[in-house]
Amino acid sequence: MRMLTATILAMAATTAMAADPFYAVSEKVNQKLVKLFGAGGFRGVSNYGTGIVISADGHILTSASQMLDSAEIVVHLYDGRKLKATVLVTEPELDAAILKLRVEGKKIDEPTGLELEHFSFAEELKRPRAQPGDWVLGFSNSFEIAMRDEAMTVQRGVVAAYTKMHGRRGIFDFPYTGDVYIVDAITNNPGAGGGALTDRKGNLLGVIGKEIRNTQSETWMNYAIPIGAEVDVKDGDKTVKIGLAKFVELGMQGKYKPVKRPDIVIGIGGYHGIVFVPNVLDRTPPYIDDVFPNSPAAKAGLKVDDLVSFIDGEPIYSINGFRDFMKRTKPGSKIRLEVRRGDNLQSIDIELGEYPAKPMAPKKP
C-alpha cells in the first residue's frame, strides 16, 4: 500500500512538472534571446544588456543603448557560444537598434549559416496586442545574472496600462513618445533593455526598455515598447510615421535610414568656459585642456585633465556629445558634472553664465 501511494505521489509530481506552462515557455523563449556585452561598466552605464533574435541568420533587436557605442560587441547565445556582432542601424525615435552576428571568415552581408531559433516579426504581428489585466512574462539579463548558457531572468506580471510614453533621461525628454505597455513587475533594471515581454505562451508582445523616469509622476517606469509601435516624428521639414515592424524589416535588409532629428537649441546655450583637447575624432573623449579665468568652470574648480563623464546623470562619451547637451541649456542654468580626476569620480556643480563679449584667454604654462 505504501509503495502504491508513493508511486501515485511521484506520478502526480511528474505530471504537475510536465504541466507547468512557464518552465516550457521559459525554455522556448530563452533560445530566442542573447546576452550583449559592450561599452560602459561604470556608474550609470551598464556594459551588458539583452537582445532578441529576429532571424535565423543572426539579426538581433535590442534597445538603442550607449552600451552599443563600442568597438567590439560580444554576444553570448543560448547554448553558450560566444560571437561578435556589428550594429547595422539604430533609431532613437523607436529606442531600437539592430545588430548582426559575425562568423569568422564571412563578411557582414553574407549568410552566417547559424540557423538560430528566433521570433518572426511577421508572425508575431498577426496576434492581437495584450490588454490591461493580461498576464505577461518579462525575460532579460537583469543585473548580469545570466552568462553564456545560463537562463535569463523571468518575471511574471500583469499589463497595468497601455498608454503613451511620458519619460525622460536626466533632465531631457526620452526620444520615444509612442505607446508602451506598463507592467506591474519590476522589469526595467540594469541590463534589461532589449529583453522580451511575452504572453503566457511565449509569443512576443514587446521590447523591454531601459531604466527611465516618468516625467509626470517622477517615478521609475516598468515598460515595454509594443512590437506594433508607431510614432509620428519630424524628419527635416516634414512629419513622418515610423514603426518598429518596418524598422526591423528594412534594418535587416540594410535599407533603413534613421530619422534626422532636429537640434533642441535654446539660444546658444549657457557659457561654461571649458577648453577641451583638440576634437580630431567623432568620439574624442571630453578631456579638459584648460579653463578660462573667472569663468563658471574656473569658479567651480574644474581642472586640466579632468574627464567629463556625466552631466546631470547622463553619460557623456565625446566632446561632440558635451556640446550637443550644452545647446539645450541657457544662461543661469545649473548643471552637475561628474568628472573623472585620476582614479576618482567627483561631482561639480556649475551655474552657467552669459557669453562674454571677449573671453580672457586661458593661461598657458
The predicted-structure confidence for 227-273, as pLDDT tens digits, reads as follows 999 998 776 678 888 999 999 999 999 999 887 765 444 446 889 99
Do residues 249 and 278 both lie within one domain? Answer: no
Written as nine digits, the cell of 168 is 525622460
In a domain, 12, yes or no: no
What CATH number has the domain bearing residue 331?
2.30.42.10
The total number of structural domains that make up the chain: 2
| pLDDT for the residue 358 | 59
> What is the rounded CA–CA span in Å between residue 258 and residue 27?
35
CB atoms within 10 A of CB 158: 14
Do residues 225 and 304 both lie within one domain? Answer: no
In a domain, 357, yes or no: no
Do residues 203 and 293 both lie within one domain? Answer: no
In a domain, 268, yes or no: no
Q: How far is CA 128 from the centre of its chain?
A: 26
In a domain, 56, yes or no: yes
In a domain, 265, yes or no: no
CB atoms within 10 A of CB 89: 19
Do residues 139 and 242 both lie within one domain? Answer: yes
- The mean predicted confidence, pLDDT, of the chain is 85
The predicted-structure confidence for 291-347, as pLDDT tens digits, reads as follows 999 999 999 999 999 999 889 878 888 888 888 888 888 888 899 999 999 888 899
Do residues 196 and 133 both lie within one domain? Answer: yes
Q: Is 324 exposed, middle or buried (0-12, 13-18, 19+ CB in 10 A)?
A: middle
First to last CA, the chain: 95
Do residues 87 and 148 both lie within one domain? Answer: yes
Q: Which amino acid is at 364?
A: K
CA-CA distances (angstroms) from residue 197 to 24, 194, 226? 16, 10, 9
Q: Give the domain range for residue 163.
A: 21-253
- Closest to 177 in 3D by CA, of 92, 251, 259, 253: 92
> What is the rounded CA–CA span in Å between residue 202 and residue 28?
7
> What is the rounded CA–CA span in Å between residue 88 and residue 97?
8
